[in-house]
Structure 1
Amino acid sequence: MRNHPFWDPLANYFPMKLVKTAELSPDKNYLLAWHPHGIVSLSAVINVCTNGTRFAEQFPGINRYLATLDMHFKQPFRRELLSAFGLVGSSFKALLTVLSDVNKGKAVVLVVGGAEEALECHPNVFKLCLERRKGFIRLALESGAYLVPVYSFGETSTFKQVWNPVGSRLRAFQTRFKTVVGLSPVAAYGTNIIPFVPGIVPFRTEVVSVVGTPIPVERTPNPTREQVDELHRLYKSKLSELFEAHKSKYGVSEDSHLEFY
């Protein structure tokens, strides 16, 4: 279902593209840390849940999965449908089970920034919720899965969000809502068939997801805080290098850099 050409027009609408910078060997498992979250993580969904960008051809022998909230799997039929498109629960236990599988060639995509980062989604804003996000680092260490940084240029331009700076009433409400419910109530809008009228259709803008070079990780069942921090620093460095190496190709100014919070 997910590999059917039916999904090609969806990827071509933006267009959505996938750029490979290194091979992913089928004899390893991988944790692809995907950035930024954007409003609804369109690039992660289209690249992983469909084959519109030819993920399967670019990375042969790799079975891809997209992590999403466990609550989506509690309803019958919906659970089976999500599984058919390669979605898995995002709990630590569920992801550890997938990435620890002795049958290699598995790649789990995790949109690290989550609901909190969605509130920072604005065009030409490169702020990533990563400074305190270390669960995915521990997951890589405990499973031995290689870490792969991925950055999607253009993701934050697929929708526009009402300006919500920290300290504003809107942001205060969004933060409180997220704390209670676990989801971010983004005040976002897209385009419409009627000119100049906001809608729910994403803006037609090129989105390019660049898959970086895998970072080798040695399986460590009980990693120390120091080991987690060390790999976290290395990961941030490699992600920044990936962003800097490709930003000029995709319309990002030279004086723009990633900001971690």
Structure 2
Amino acid sequence: MKEIFSMVQSLQVDILADLHLYLCTYFAYYLYDRETPARGGRRLQCFRQWKLWKYYANFFPLKLIKTVDLDPKKNYIFGCHPHGILCYSHFGNFCTEGSGFSELFPGLTSYLTVLSGQFMFPVFRDCFMLTGAVEVSKESISYLLSKETGGNAVCVILGGASEALDANPGNFTVRATKRKGFCRLALKYGASLVPVYSFGENNLFVQVTNPDGSRLRKFQDFCTKRLGFSPPIFHGRGIFNYNFGLIPYRHPVNSVVGAPINIEKNEKPTMEEVDDLHDRYLKALTELFEKYKVKYGVSENDHLVFKD
């Protein structure tokens, strides 16, 4: 009996020693690799082409609609709207080949920018980077747009965490009136701006009513400012029921990629030039929404609502 106990104890010591070695090795790798999310990530095309992503897109179903050809010799900033609760369409379109991005836009490489906190989780960060996800920071976007040969499409979900709190069926709020940093970067690097609107993204979940000024909304806004991400209270469907759960509802999502706003490179744009480009972008986004809204299930009487 003592021999068995001694063997078990010895085995436990060996397992703990190996685990300690693995953790130390990964921690050293993490420190060495911590800047990669802001240096183009580590995308792997075969991972993006995994058949699972086709099932993912077909679940809703999710479709990516091209309205014009995009020159692969240029760099682009895709402005993605709306944020939705969990950005399902933007992930499916630009982090996977589930909706056929590479077939629709040959020669372009898509990068979805996300909060830097996403890359703080061990192992998850490495898997997420395989999809083409990168850090949403000035440094990260500048790194991708500085590619002189072009071919990069940097996808930015402009509404951010605060727009997630507006995500509800029938809500068409876009929080972009004071978000102008992407315009300054577009001018600095001569990258074309492309509006993208996902019709149906806000229909995937139902959020607890939280109008501006309510106690719940004030608490959520406080958390968003303090933590950097919003805490929406929502529900979708379950596995065996359609009334409650955390699985998104099966609702068609159609992501329309608009025409590019071509820009002359200006390394030191003035505030007036940034404001002018921002106005042009919002106008282009509005025109895109109005042109396709009825086709993709939005009432003729509904319009985009712009907020800070």
TM-score (norm 1): 0.97
Q: Does 1:49 align with 2:95?
A: yes
Mapped partners of 1:150, 1:75: distance in 2: 29
CA contact (8 A) 1:100 1:144 kept: no
Count residues in correspondence. Answer: 261
Where does structure 1 differ by over 4 angstroms across 4 or more consecutive aligned residues? Answer: none
- Report the counterpart of residue 249 of structure 1 in structure 2: 295
| Conservation of the 8 A alpha-carbon contact between 2:196 and 2:255 | yes
SS of the counterpart of 1:81? Answer: helix
Q: What CA distance in whole angstroms lies between the structure 1 residues aligned with 2:156 and 2:255?
A: 14
Give the number of the structure whose alpha-carbon radius of gyration is greater: 2
CA contact 2:236–2:243 (8 Å) conserved in 1: no
2:246 matched residue in structure 1: 200
| Residues 195/84 of structure 1: CA separation in 2 closer, same or farther (3 Å cut) | closer
Give CA deviations for 1:137-169 in whole Å, capped at 9, x if unaligned. 111111211000000000000111000001211
Is 1:131 matched with 2:177? yes
C-alpha separation in 2, matches of 1:111 and 1:196: 29
Structure 2, gaps ≥5 residues long: 1-46
- Quick one: distance in 2 between partners of 1:99 and 1:20? 22
Asked if 1:78 is matched to 2:124, the reply is yes
CA contact (8 A) 2:197 2:255 kept: yes
Which residue of structure 1 lines up, in the alignment, with residue 112 of structure 2?
A: 66
Q: Distance in 1 between matches of 2:294 and 2:124?
A: 41
2:54 corresponds to 1:8 = yes
CA deviation after TM superposition for structure 1 residue 75, in Å: 4.6
1:111-138 deviation digits (Å, cap 9, x = unpaired): 0000011111111111100111111111
Partner of residue 25, structure 1: 71
Following the alignment from structure 1 to structure 2, what is the Cα–Cα distance between the partners of residues 77 and 125?
A: 36
2:65 is paired with a residue of what secondary structure?
strand
Post-superposition CA distance 1:198-241 (Å, at most 9, x none): 11100000000000001001111111100000000000110000
Aligned match of 1:225: 271
Matched, 1:178 2:219: no
8 A contact 1:31–1:145 mirrored in 2 = yes
Cα pair 2:94 2:110 within 8 Å, conserved? yes
From 189, 192, 204, the counterpart of 2:235: 189
> Any unmatched runs of 5+ in structure 1?
none
Identity %: 47
CA distance in structure 1 between the aligned counterparts of 2:66 and 2:294, rounded to whole angstroms: 17
For 1:203 and 1:103, how far apart are their aligned partners in 2?
A: 41
Q: Which amino acid aligns with 1:145?
A: A
| CA apart distance, 1:197 | 4.4
* Contact in 1 for aligned 2:74/2:192 (Cα 8 Å): yes
Root-mean-square deviation (CA), in Å? 1.1
Residues 1:38 and 2:99 aligned together: no
Select which of 154, 157, 167 maps to 1:108.
154
Deviation at 1:78, TM superposition (A): 3.3
